[in-house]
Amino acid sequence: MANCLTLKKSNCKNCYKCIRHCPVKAIRFSGNQAHIIGNECILCGHCFVVCPQNAKEIVDGTEKARVLLHSGDPVIVSLAPSFVANYDGVGIESMRRALKQLGFYDVEETAIGATIVKKEYERMLREEERDIIITSCCHSINLLIQKYFPTTLEYLADVMSPMQAHCLDIKKRIPNAKTVFIGPCVAKKDEAEYYEGIVDAVLTFEELSEWLKSERITLEKELDTTAQSRARFFPTTGGILKTMTERLSDYTYIALDGVENCMSALKDIEEGRIHKCFIEMSACVGSCIGGPVMEKYHRSSPIKDYISVSDYAGEQDFDVQQPSAASLKKHFSMIEHKLATPSENEIMTVLRQMGKFKPSDELNCGSCGYNSCREKAIAIIQGKAESSMCLPFLKDKAESFSDTIVKNTPNGLIALNENLEVQQINAAARKIMNIRSESDVLGEPVVRILDPTVYMQVKSTGRTVRDQRTYLAEYKKYIKQTVVYDSESRMLIGIMRDITDEEAEREKKARINKQTVEVADSVVEKQMRIVQEIASLLGETAAETKIALTKLKESIDDE
């Protein structure tokens, strides 16, 4: 399969949006990066559309088309009928003039090939006794059946797509012609690569728009009318059925869009619950006008786009020379892709690693992108996913880690919301304030247990208060507290260290020092007379001796 979708690794942000929207989970996560699994992908382009970082890229075919233009052979564009929805108010004649300026020999509508395919479907219904026929226009649906529902391959119409039928028709009519398909589909690039010799290059509408812009070519708003253009309905849901003029009375005709709906129908077919049915299947919701490479400003306009196609379509078929049924045959075979299903023991081991020890632990929340915890466990074993993709597991792990710290730190911790209501309080804080149970204060105003002044100050100024020494008179405790405001969580965090014992020791030391000073003072006063007598005998003045003793007293007092 052609590598039509690539990934800019640096842009992947582990949001898992791509895997959540991938209908076949063909995305592998490794090293915090998403990788498309080529042999499992059906190229529906959902990941390209939903990626918020534009990490998914479609391989550009512009250079390949430029090379064809310089080959000297006539290069004809097969233009998908959804163009009228992508380029508002622009008809085929205007597109032809613009593309000829780029160097193309001519531009034709893929709807011509759609008419050929539609006529072949009618022949199959009329001449062949088939129980179920599934249309083969959508390459993504073809890949879905080949890879995931191979038992239904017998019901997939063995007919070329409109793109192939048209390009083959062009090459029959114009000697040495080269063909370039332009449309809203990623999968067509793969189809052109796989079935060689029919379509020489594929461009998306976005690639064409960029090319026209670089050459400063402006599309003129001009809608032409052609009665023989009913197949222009093909890019809409039910568009194939709308163009069919022959219907068998014993058949049910139904159109399905969206991969999920198509998968549900294919499961019913596998289980034998559907018979005598002609099913038009499209991978994109809204069919091709909802394609992944319809330019972005069109993706949210399904009704407007349908009206654009409907107004442009005629009431009669294009005038085509219908080729033989044999020349339109297309062979589909099963594409192996599935990895071996792990054993129940292996699945249970991985579930336990994700904290899923019993069925009630399996939330099946889908945050990782997988439909169930078991499906995710299987993906981990197959190397497609990582345990860290489980949001509840990571949340519980983070909370467990933080709770361990909070519960075991010797410091008291208290968390308040902006209304100064207690949101969390640990055991150390409860011990300081003689609070029996956490539930006694949770949700209550902090003023019930603490003076809120410092918290109000920090909330109003946003400035942290650090190591403030405070006496909690009600609890007869001295604390050193730090109060922080976290603007992201809009929470006030109080950290308290009980320094009551330290304060008692300090007061005890202060009392001893005071007593020592008092004793020293008494001794000084009592001995002054004796000192003076001694001093006179030694020839020293009383003043000098008094100064020496006073300094001794001061040094004791300082301690």
pLDDT of residue 400: 59
Distance CA 482, CA 457 (A): 12
Which alpha helices (DSSP H) does 485-559 contain, by range? Answer: 500-538, 542-558
- Tens-digit pLDDT profile for residues 406-425: 777 889 999 999 899 999 89
CATH fold for domain 341-397 = 3-methyladenine DNA Glycosylase II; Chain A, domain 3 (1.10.15)
Q: In whole angstroms, how large is the CA radius of gyration of the chain? A: 41
Is residue 252 pLDDT above 80, yes or no? yes
Which DSSP helix (H) or strand (E) runs through 412?
A: strand 412-416
Per-residue pLDDT, averaged over 498-509, amounts to 84
Percent of the chain whose predicted confidence (pLDDT) is above 90: 59
Which alpha helices (DSSP H) does 138-258 contain, by range? Answer: 139-148, 162-173, 187-194, 205-214, 239-243
pLDDT band at 298 (very low <50, low <70, confident <90, very high): very low
- Would the pTM count as exceeding 0.85? no
Higher pLDDT, 351 or 552: 351
State phi, psi for 546 to the nearest 5 degrees: -65, -40
pLDDT of residue 410: 86
The domain over range 409-498 is classified in CATH as 1.10.3470.10: no
Q: Could you tell me how many residues make up the chain?
A: 559
Q: For the packed helices 111-127 and 162-173, what is the interaxial angle rounded to 10 degrees? A: 110
Q: E-strand spans in 20-140?
A: 27-30, 33-36, 56-58, 75-79, 106-109, 132-134
Taking the alpha carbons at both ends of the chain, their separation in whole angstroms is 87
Paired sense of beta strands 201-204 and 178-183, if any: parallel
pLDDT of residue 503: 81
Q: Tokens standing for 312?
A: 């442009």
Residue type, 500: T
Please, are residues 79 and 95 in contact by the beta-carbon 8 Å criterion? Answer: yes
Q: Which of 140, 145, 146, 136 is nearest to 334 (CA)?
A: 146
Distance CA 444, CA 429 (A): 15
Task: Collect all residues with Cβ–Cβ distance below 8 Å to 441 and sequence separation of at least 6.
Answer: 422, 425, 435, 448, 449
Higher pLDDT, 26 or 529: 26
SS3 content of the chain, % helix, strand, coil (to 5): 45, 15, 35
